[in-house]
Structure formats: structure tokens, C-alpha cells
Amino acid sequence: MAGHRGIDGGRPSRRVAIGLGAGMGAGLAGLAAAPEATAAAAGRSVDVVVVGAGFAGLTAALRLRAAGRSVVVLEADDRVGGRTKPGRIAGEVIDLGGQWVGPSQTRLLDLARRYGTATYPQFATGRNIADIAGQRADYEGETPTLEPAAMAEFVDVIGKLEKLALEIPGARPWTFAGAADLDSQTIETWIVANAKTPAVRSAMRVLTRALLSAEPSQVSMLAYAAYAATAGGFGALISTRGGAQDALFEGGTWQLAARMAADLGPAVVLNAPVQRIRQSDAGVVVGTPDAEWRARYAVVTAPPPLAGRVHYEPPMPAARDGLTQRMPMGCVIKVHVAYARPFWRERGLTGLVLSDRTEFGPWFDHSPRRGGGGGLVGFFDGGPAQRWADRSPADRRARVLGDIALYFGDEALKPVDYLEEVWTRAANHRGGYVAAPPPGVITAFGPALHEPVGRIHWAGTETADAWVGYIDGAIRSGERVADELAARL
């Protein structure tokens, strides 16, 4: 993985492991092996094989086990957590993947409560910066400020998007009356049709990249509106207070995945990339390079483009295969920068910058809660991530610091530490935050996202009925698939 310095980079020596990264699992290890795990290790036969140890897979496995079923979770990586991952910068544990939680993400908040993990609010005191179409404006609150002549149109365009998000059934957008029309447009063509002012168009493009890690020209407008619908609206997606960036977890988000894996014990098998799934009337046989697992059912939680790399026997129906060929991951690089102190706060700034002049961004304050140090976290999203993923870490670092210095001055050029994760080059992920379909895909192939194929069921945040693309959605999908199977087992 290009340039990453995750804290659990070492490969575990055991094939069957509880999935805790070195240094993160203190206090969680030493768990008793679950009975079915012992049986599974011996006979490699369980009720359900779950593919992928992200939040969806771990949730599904725990729920199935709670219903009295035996499970094994096969994970391709040498760690659990999927699109969440821990790192350490300037002595602080941070998240290299998913991190924020919002107030309506109740499944994730419930999970954190269960494990006694507290949240704290995203720092948002002061002025944000929007620098769009050559005009810099500082603003407070959630709606970026554009040049005065553009504001009315900006509010109007966001209002149109909100209206769509309210009308569209987010989990089943292909059933929407206007689905064919919206699915024939990209977000870009919709923006151009609905906004005349260059500043509004540019702001909408910046927001799209920030929300989907994809270019507006690459994603269906129906998919975008449905995405917002499953979050409860566009405002919920872009907002800090009350929205998707509302709060963080003390000690990081990834620890919740580690704790779920610890509860599952040896039923989580790392370094176990599933290469093939064979199904028949008798059950499924799931193959990794080292082993074959027999089960009555399989749950695949890998996102569609990765699920499509598994070899299925018999082959997938045309609808499912067509879907997985047509739903690419977004492109994203996540970056943390540590400073001796949060000097931007001294100037009354929150640290949030939205700009169409930079390659890096948006970025947010991510200063440690204690000790007085400063921190920023931000992204290369969509086109910028495509352009920078294959550059050297030193090139990226120079670009990131230069972009931050444009707004925060030369102090930004002197960090005490720098850490990044190039998700687009991560072998088992191939990007993030989410897989997003281009035009024509959801209306033609959408139902194949959820519909089981024989004994194989699908989960993962892309299949969620709420908060698609987020950890909360992943958890919901894990619950849904466990309930589907409990009804069949």
C-alpha cells in the first residue's frame, strides 16, 4: 500500500487470529475460543461463511452467532476493519479510513455504547473557509458562502437536490417514477443543467468530490440523489454539526471493529482471500488459497467491484455479473498532518477549508484532545486522487503542505508528522469511500445489489437501506443479511 504507515502493518503469524492489530488489542486478547470456531478450524464446516471482516461482515457474524448459528469470517487483509484502519501520528491513534459519526447514525452509536466508547464533537468553533471560483469567503455554520451574486442560485440548487432526496426511495431508487430520466444523467450534466453561475457549478463539483470521492462526470445523478436520500438528505451529508461529520470516537473508530472481532475470536480468519464460491443444493464451498470451507450459506460483504473478482460456480446471473462489472470504487487518499499546535485556531479558523484551487481538500481540524498539539485531516478525492495516487509520498506531502499553506500561512509547511493512506492502491479495497455507479446502471441492474443468488447473500454498505457509503450503513446491511439467513437456516 503506497506510503502507508499503519500501526498494524506486521503480518500475523497465525492463520486463525482474533484480528487485533499489534499494540491496539491490549485488554481485548485472551478471549475464549467460541465452540463453533474450534469445530470450524477442525472440520472447516459452519452454517455460514462470511466474506470480509469490515463492519458489515463482523456485524452479520455476531448476529448470526447470537441466533445460535456457527460462522466463520474470511478476510483477505492481515487485519479486520475493511475501509476503517488505525494509524498513529505524533503518538496519537487516528483513523486512516472511516472516522466520523453523525447523530442519525444510530447503529454505529449503539455499537460504540455497547463497547463503552465515547464520542466527542468535531471541532467547529470559528470560521470555515470557502475559496470557490476565485473568490475567498469565510463563513460560519454549514452552508459555504459564495460570491453574493451566486448565493441565491446555490441555495436553490441545494434545495432541488434536497427535494429529490426526499422523494426518492434511497434503497430502491429504480422504483422512483423519474428514475430513468435521472439515471440517464451524470451529476455533472445535472449541475450544468441546473446551475448557470460558474461559482455554483464549481461548489457543487467540490462537494460531490468530497462526498463520493468521484468526479461528477463519473456518477449517475440518480445514484447521487439516492445516496443523499439514504442519509436523510443532502444537508446531513455535508454538515458538521448534526450531520455526517458531527463527532469522532475517543481512541478512533477502528477499535470498534477490533472489539467485534475479539468477540468473534478465532472465527475470524485473516489473510484468507476468498477466490471461489461453489454452490449446489447441498450448500456452498468457499475456497481460499489455503483452505476450503463448507457451509449452508455464504454472505459476501466485499463491495461490488471486489465481489465481482470472486470466481462463482455456477456463474452469477447476468444481472448480478453486470452490476459488479459496472460499479467502480471512488478514488481517495486520506492524509493526516500533525503540528506543534493548532495555529489556525489562534486566527479564529475552524480548520475546515473547501477550495477549488487546491488538489488536496477538503480538510478539517483533527487536533488531539489533550496535550496542545495540532492536527488536520483531509483528502485527495476523485480526480485529484487519480492524479496523485501514483506519485511518490514525498511529492504528495509537498503538495498537501503547499495547499494548506495557501490558507494557513507558512507555519503549515513545518509539520511534526505526516501520515497517509492511498486507498486507491490498497489491494483488497481498490478505493473508497464507496462504489458509485455511472448512468444507466441502477435502473438496469439495481435490484441485483441485494437479491440473493441461491445460497449467496450480499451485504456491505453499498447494499444498505440507510446511510449507504457509511459505517452505519455497513452495520445495517450486516443486520439485514443476518436476519435474511436466520429465516432460511
Name the residues that contact ligand FAD, by CB under 6 A: 51-57, 74-77, 82-84, 97-100, 273-274, 301-303, 306, 310, 332, 334, 423, 428, 432-434, 460-461, 469-472, 474
From the CB of residue 251, how many other CB atoms can be counted at a distance below 10 Å? 16
Minimum CB separation of residue 375 from ligand FAD in Å reads 15
Minimum CB separation of residue 347 from ligand FAD in Å reads 26
For ligand FAD, the closer CB: 1 or 56: 56
For ligand FAD, the closer CB: 197 or 301: 301
For ligand FAD, the closer CB: 99 or 208: 99
d(CA 268, CA 425): 24
For ligand FAD, the closer CB: 82 or 87: 82
Minimum CB separation of residue 437 from ligand FAD in Å reads 16
For ligand FAD, the closer CB: 184 or 428: 428
Minimum CB separation of residue 383 from ligand FAD in Å reads 16
For ligand FAD, the closer CB: 198 or 452: 452
Minimum CB separation of residue 231 from ligand FAD in Å reads 10
Minimum CB separation of residue 245 from ligand FAD in Å reads 7
For ligand FAD, the closer CB: 168 or 300: 300
d(CA 304, CA 296): 22
Minimum CB separation of residue 289 from ligand FAD in Å reads 10
Q: Which residue is nearest to ligand FAD (CB)?
A: 82
Please, are residues 122 and 115 in contact by the beta-carbon 8 Å criterion? no
d(CA 125, CA 265): 42
For ligand FAD, the closer CB: 40 or 200: 40
Minimum CB separation of residue 184 from ligand FAD in Å reads 27
For ligand FAD, the closer CB: 439 or 469: 469
Q: Are strands 119-121 and 247-249 parallel, antiparallel or unpaired?
A: antiparallel
Query: Measured on CA atoms in the order 398, 399, 401, 405, is the torsion positive or negative?
Result: positive
Residues 6+ apart with CB under 8 A from 355: 129, 130, 131, 132, 206, 361, 362, 403, 406, 407
Please, are residues 299 and 62 in contact by the beta-carbon 8 Å criterion? no
What count of Cα atoms within 13 Å lies in the side-chain half-sphere of residue 336? 28
Minimum CB separation of residue 135 from ligand FAD in Å reads 29
For ligand FAD, the closer CB: 54 or 382: 54
Minimum CB separation of residue 97 from ligand FAD in Å reads 4
